[in-house]
Structure 1
């Protein structure tokens, strides 16, 4: 849950809480509830049903749509909580018929899939590879996670800034989230992972997987071609290619949970590296506080990654 809070908000260091210890600790708890609790629940559903990563990522898409379109409704906002450059970003790839920015839709929803849910889950599963395909929560833990998520989501939803969606936009978004859940169920029925002893097959090390994924992650995180239609098209194609390559490689013998964690870690680290290059989009933060925040968040990710990729624990085939 804590890693979800770091990956979703604190690592990017774009908000006015950057470098403020009390505010960061509060954010760690709050965003742990808002993103970490549903990540745990999505993982729990996936592992209890015997589904694999495709279904888990589809559930993450449902959660990403819910967050950006139903809870904070930031995708439909013309000037969300006064973030600098918001209006310009919105207009760069604007879709009039939907009244949204295509690039913002991609960044918000896919960003949640990767940084808020998918990458933290992948890294955390590699801490105990032998438990990677097993449920983690009992009835009490599940109930607590549900209560935390609903409570945090409600606190966001009642804010005035979270009322930007029209009735049609809200309805369509809810339908899309439901479609992702249905697709996760259908795919889970047909792509059930097979857990078993690892086969002795030569495979690149997890560090190689990290190195191969780091540059694409950095390119995607930096919006290298801008937030216009050219940048949007490039990001969609690049993300699809990276996803396809990872999926194809993961289906070959020798790929285990640490390789999945290494790819996830590469995206988290790329987000942390990029955060050193800009100041928060809201509020005033002194350079020392800003860069101290960057260093601490990056160290948190690197420590989490070290435990995930440490070679001494038993391995478990990825799903």
Structure 2
């Protein structure tokens, strides 16, 4: 309510609009969310309220970003800060409501390794999503890399944490988690940076040629980009880092990691990073129909995740006597092939079809294997390690697509990040062997 009131005041005290005065859309959204949180039962109302807060945070941070360059009056800045404080309080209340009924079995471990595990996941999301590929002019620049770790940790790591905690709290499985990651990947490529619809995003070398090779005129996108962006985000930005991080401390793999404060911080970090991307004119390539369809796809992925997850949670967890007998060596080798083939495929339609077939086939094979032979944290870690390793090794074969980076810092960057992947992958595979539960349901 406070945030909605502040948003309304901003419409009054802010600069006069070019057209007739109107109430900002965020005001009725927040009011409706406050009503829903008050009337609807428990977690349903709290979930609606938290979703409204995420939407409002992006708008609030864009407002504060304009204030920093002196475009707003002191009164507007003050009201904007009140609005932001109200959003933080609303997020905190919603999160407390969401997790209020968790059982003792879901209790969080308070040892010192939990913060390290969370920070490690944030860093690996940034590395897997952006830094490991070494495709831009931040490659080899220590200051730029340090900033990227923080910024992309917020942009990719924070939502990965939120999605993972939701799945673990609700007792869902990896299929639901992957669908939520698909929703996040679609949101990133189509709604946040909107690179999916860009003709020449940020001036990257070869962008236009890649897009044109598999252009679908009716949709205004290239099929190669659609695969690379959405599937790439699912694997490298979210799933692989989460699989490694869970295997680092097996006893917490099926527990939520964030409390109310941590969840609020993650929501604000994600909203802030997304808002900064949206403020870039290069991130406004989508047309209203394209954005509407993209939002519908995000909603469909989330709905599918909930549907599949509830079906799984309502059934019994199956265990199998074969769990743990599946050797990790062949899994690692097959995962390497599944990562290499799409990466080396052509950028034409043939390459897209091959990539879809290989990735889809590998995913189905994991699902079937998990339900019939058993699947442990170690197997998940091995697959994640293989994909990240291939991404890092292939980065040695090309120079950044934008900017002028000298060979020494470029190869130093590649080498250091490969060592990070090897170290975190080795740790995950080694500690994942201690996953005593080895449930087949872990992968189903």
Same fold per superposition (TM over 0.5):
yes
Between the aligned partners of 1:277 and 1:297, the Cα distance in structure 2 is 15
| Cα offset, 1:64, TM superposition | 0.4
* Alignment of structure 1 residues 42-81 onto 2, 5 Å: 42-81=163-202
Partner of 1:94: 215
CA RMSD after TM alignment: 1.6
Q: Deviations over 1:21-60 (max 9, x none)?
A: 1100100110000000000000011110100000000000
* Alignment of structure 1 residues 186-201 onto 2, 5 Å: 186-192=307-313, 199=321, 201=323
Contact kept, 8 Å, 1:48 with 1:135, in 2: the verdict is: yes
Whether 2:342 is the aligned partner of 1:220: answer: yes
Whether 2:426 is the aligned partner of 1:306: answer: yes
Whether 2:365 is the aligned partner of 1:245: answer: yes
* Alignment of structure 1 residues 51-200 onto 2, 5 Å: 51-192=172-313, 199=321
TM-score by length of 1: 0.95
| Cα offset, 1:215, TM superposition | 1.7
Q: Deviations over 1:100-135 (max 9, x none)?
A: 001101110110000000111111110111211111
TM-score by length of 2: 0.69
Contact kept, 8 Å, 2:191 with 2:291, in 1: the verdict is: yes
Pair 48,78 (structure 1): closer, same or farther in 2 beyond 3 Å: same
Pair 15,194 (structure 1): closer, same or farther in 2 beyond 3 Å: farther
Between the aligned partners of 2:429 and 2:169, the Cα distance in structure 1 is 25
Task: Say which of 204, 211, 220 aligns to 2:326.
Answer: 204
Partner of 1:262: 382
Contact kept, 8 Å, 2:158 with 2:266, in 1: the verdict is: yes
Q: Secondary structure at the match of 1:191?
A: helix
Contact kept, 8 Å, 1:115 with 1:268, in 2: the verdict is: yes
Between the aligned partners of 1:87 and 1:15, the Cα distance in structure 2 is 16
Q: Secondary structure at the match of 1:276?
A: helix
Q: Tell me the matched-pair count.
A: 317
Contact kept, 8 Å, 2:326 with 2:373, in 1: the verdict is: no
Contact kept, 8 Å, 1:62 with 1:176, in 2: the verdict is: yes
| Cα offset, 1:261, TM superposition | 1.2
Q: Deviations over 1:219-268 (max 9, x none)?
A: 1123x2x1111111111111111111111111234421110111111111
Between the aligned partners of 2:189 and 2:225, the Cα distance in structure 1 is 10
Long gaps (5+) in structure 2: 1-121
Whether 2:147 is the aligned partner of 1:26: answer: yes
Q: Secondary structure at the match of 2:254?
A: coil
* Structure number with higher helix proportion: 2
Instruction: Report which stretch shifted further, 183-192 or 278-287.
Output: 183-192
Partner of 1:8: 129
Contact kept, 8 Å, 1:72 with 1:156, in 2: the verdict is: yes
Q: Which has the higher contact order (CA 8 A, sep 6+)?
A: 1
Q: Secondary structure at the match of 2:258?
A: coil
Instruction: Report which stretch shifted further, 122-131 or 189-198.
Output: 189-198
Long gaps (5+) in structure 1: none
| Cα offset, 1:314, TM superposition | 4.1
Pair 50,146 (structure 1): closer, same or farther in 2 beyond 3 Å: same
- Greater Rg by CA: 2
| Cα offset, 1:201, TM superposition | 4.7
Q: Deviations over 1:279-304 (max 9, x none)?
A: 10000111111111001111111111
Q: Secondary structure at the match of 1:19?
A: coil
Runs of 4+ in 1 over 3 A off after TM superposition: 192-202, 311-316
